[in-house]
Structure 1
């Protein structure tokens, strides 16, 4: 059955991402802390975790403009494989500590990430329809974010001392590199979606397909396809709908920076957390992952209830995410000192540091993030099913540029200002998403009454 084939494709994509990001998300979670330990052993090394992550997301943002053009010539499966190779390369460079190599690998990873995530959006859309998109995006998110379990559980048991020595570091890097290679091999064997466009491998490019339905030489056709894909991304970015949704995209980028690179490191730097505070970095990542996975599973189940909850579920789920995230930011404000993102500190927050409260904050951060991201994927997959390449590329562009900026200012401003920025951007992002989702749902419902066939084709 075609549905079974599509579903299996989504499962394979999800587990491949899970393995690759078991390595990368764990590395992002510990990078700031582990690079500080390398500096203590090697005085010539001056690499900074926040700067590395800033380069990654800046390159990711820039390359997202070119990703649709690249994928229009290669197809999403090739792009996903090439992108995953870049992630494995980045992890491998930590076995040879070098500031120059670290920053070069960060830039390469940014390029690979643009291919991986844009290709993922196209591939997921091509294996879904309007009824299964929300379910598939939630299922992908739950499996993908389970990557936070294994890697961070490993870190929890490995990082038992305030200082992380070289043998421990190399063992951690080797294990993470192995996982990323296994995941890359799994993504290499992704199968074609059941329904292919006229350009075969160039799935997900709509206007380009129409423009190029002419007998041309292959090279000329590929160049024109790439040009039309790039032009389509620019035109889509200038629409009011994407402009409003960009506020939501930006918030997810700021939140990504905070929970993937800043928050867990802040826990490990807070001396009041106890002698085992470095192991709490891994435990924090595990609880973030639990929140992400539970959120993905819950929303995947709810989205299968046709004609009742799922028709207008997007904005409701995002409101739930807003409340969970607000609770998380309040607990973090109370629990951690203002200078905790920078280095080891004896300062305290408004209350004495509590590891239990820190883990509650981790869980609610993950759950809130799942609320936003699953619904963004579902909404883009439905509204822009014919323009999936530029739509998902623009999502990752806005998210990545926000993450890059956030990693830059994270090295200079304290925790309190960072939380204020997150709170303001969360309000703007939540309002914009709810407005677009409710407007689209009402328009589709009204058209469905008049003309069901027309309602199915609504996108703008």
Structure 2
């Protein structure tokens, strides 16, 4: 197999591994608040759990590059995946103490997992393939929203209450799927030295070591402590660069809207009694349509994007799509839906609640999210290809802080106020991304000029 073929194969395997893992985890996150409401004498909150996960996720991103540098991206993804599986398995026989303990552990695992993913994506990409590879990975990842949510719809259709048998069957199946995804990471191979990746050029020591440590054999050339310290220092330095500072606002926005589409909106749909007895099953259909939007966006704006027009038009399109979704949700969904009890809410917003409009908004949320994330993956992979692990750690640090904050206020803040925060943050984030992209274009022109 050619070096380019091996790199593409690695990206596809990476995408399938994440697809299986997040088929389990995203389905779990989409239904957990609804499941928790069905439990007797269970005082924990799904929103609180997600806030803990993203809070620990955020803090752990400070050390995640060090872990990846020492352990290597392959083993880092495997062991982090096991923590995801443990969190899902906890719902088979849920206890408050195990629920929150698993939330802490999966938060740490998430930081390591996504830092390692960014590293694998970057070392298997070049300037010309980073956009394509980002789109392939993103599209495969978002197929995770299909299968678990389709099962939820079929299994829970017409159910007003989630029984113990329903819960256990779902979470045993999701745990097995997650474990299969973990073991797929062992099929990822180290890129060939002749491959036109950043490892051919004068790259940073961390990048060389983290790539080498993914190999099955061969000890690291420097001490583990030195690698870990280098990774931490690089992450701190990258966080205050001009480009990363400009990207902070769009990354913050993706954290807020991630919380909304992955945890809050599905709960809102399930709480709408005016949608009838199928409201709980509609949570699954909503997740599937979010996935359709994500996959379509990953294909159009990642795989087929040749960057002739730059990244800004895609991000602007994503903002407009989200604004349309937020406006329709504001009109269609009851304001108290995020905090409604298991029996749901009888209130309505400014129009007669419509299932078709609610599910169309799910599609729009996924499509808009893919616009932002494919372009952020592309621009960060381009800017920091020699320091990919710490760069993606900073990205996830910022994103997860905002997700933790959003899950915290979702316990108390009614839907219109959540939507207002998304509107304001999205506008500011888009303007900031425009500035960052213009900086990238200017840097590329200067580089091309200096090379002649």
- Normalising by structure 2, we get a TM-score of 0.93
2:184 is aligned with 1:183: no
Residue in structure 2 matched with residue 364 of structure 1 by the alignment? 364
Cα distance in 2 for partners of 1:111, 1:381 equals: 23
Q: For 1:186-216, what per-residue CA distance to the aligned partner results, in whole angstroms no more than 9, with x for missing partners?
A: 113321123499xxx9xx982546999xxxx
Q: What is residue 434 of structure 1 aligned with on the other side?
A: 434
Q: Which moved more, 1:230-239 or 1:324-333?
A: 230-239
The equivalent position to 2:172 in structure 1, one of 164, 171, 174, is 174
**How many Å apart are 1:218 and its aligned residue?**
6.3
Matched, 1:342 2:339: yes
- 2:427 match: secondary structure: helix
List runs of 5+ in structure 1 lacking aligned partners: 453-460
Shift of 1:428: 1.1
| Kept after mapping to 1: 8 A contact 2:315/2:430 | yes
**Residues 61/355 of structure 1: CA separation in 2 closer, same or farther (3 Å cut):** same
In structure 2, do the counterparts of structure 1 residues 331 and 132 end up closer, same or farther at CA, with 3 Å as the change threshold? Answer: same
The residue aligned with 1:257 is: 259
Distance in 2 between the 1:221 and 1:148 partners? Answer: 41
Is the Cα contact below 8 Å between 1:76 and 1:119 reproduced in 2?
A: yes
Aligned twin of 1:110: 107
Q: Describe the superposition over 1:372-420 as per-residue Cα deviations: whole angstroms up to 9, x where unpaired.
A: 0001001011110011111100000000010001000000110000000
Residue 386 of structure 1 aligns to a residue in which SS? Answer: helix
**CA 1:264–1:124 in 2, change beyond 3 Å: closer, same or farther?**
same
Aligned to 2:19: 18
2:243 corresponds to which residue? 241
Structure 1 equivalent of residue 314 of structure 2: 317
Q: Which residue of 2 aligns with 1:458?
A: none
Whole-Å separation in 1 of the counterparts to 2:49 and 2:75: 26
Distance 2:208 2:93 in 1: 48
Match of 2:163 among 162, 165, 169: 165
Contact kept? 1:82, 1:115, Cα under 8 Å? no
Larger deviation: 359-368 or 71-80?
71-80
Cα contact 1:72–1:205 (8 A) shared by 2 = no
- Corresponding residue SS for 1:89: helix
* More divergent stretch after superposition (336-345 vs 442-451): 442-451
> Deviation of residue 312 (structure 1)?
3.7
1:179 Cα deviation (Å)?
Answer: 0.6
CA distance in 2, matches of 1:77, 1:417: 41
Superposed, 1:284-433 pairs within 5 Å as 284-303=286-305, 305=306, 310-343=307-340, 344-433=344-433
Residue of structure 2 equivalent to 1:276: 278
Aligned to 2:142: 145
Q: 1:229 aligns with which of 228, 231, 244?
A: 231
Instruction: Provide the C-alpha distance between the structure 2 equivalents of 1:283 and 1:244, rounded to a whole number of angstroms.
Output: 36
Change (3 A) 1:218 1:300: closer
Looking at structure 1, the residues matched to 105 and 321 of structure 2 have their Cα atoms a distance apart, in angstroms, of 35
Q: Give me the whole-angstrom Cα distance separating, in 1, the residues matched to 2:442 and 2:231.
A: 30
Per-residue deviation, 1:445: 2.8
Deviation at 1:220, TM superposition (A): 6.8
1:158-181 superposed Cα distances (whole Å, 9 cap, x missing partner): 112111111111111111111101
- Equivalent residue for 2:43? 46
Q: Which residue of 1 aligns with 2:70?
A: 73
Query: What SS does structure 2 have at the residue aligned with 1:194?
Result: coil
Task: Give 1:450 shift.
Answer: 4.7
The secondary structure found in structure 2 opposite 1:149 is: helix
TM-score, normalising length: structure 1: 0.91
Contact 1:138 1:297 in 2 (8 A): yes
Partner of 2:216: none
| Contact 1:138-1:296 at 8 Å conserved across structures | yes
Instruction: Report if aligned partners of 2:69, 2:209 keep a CA contact under 8 Å in 1.
Output: no
Q: 1:223, 1:261 → 2: CA distance?
A: 38
State how far apart, in whole Å, the 1-side matches of 2:230 and 2:256 are.
31
Residues 209-228 of structure 1 show CA distances to partners (whole Å, capped at 9, x for unaligned) of 6999xxxx969711011111
Match in the other structure for 1:2: 3
CA RMSD, Structure 1 to Structure 2 (Å): 2.0
Give 3-state SS (helix, strand or coil) of 2:412's partner: coil
Instruction: Number of aligned residue pairs: give it.
Output: 434
Change (3 A) 1:382 1:275: same
Tell me if structure 1 keeps the 8 A contact 2:243–2:439: no
Does structure 2 retain, via aligned residues, the 8 Å contact 1:126–1:195? Answer: no
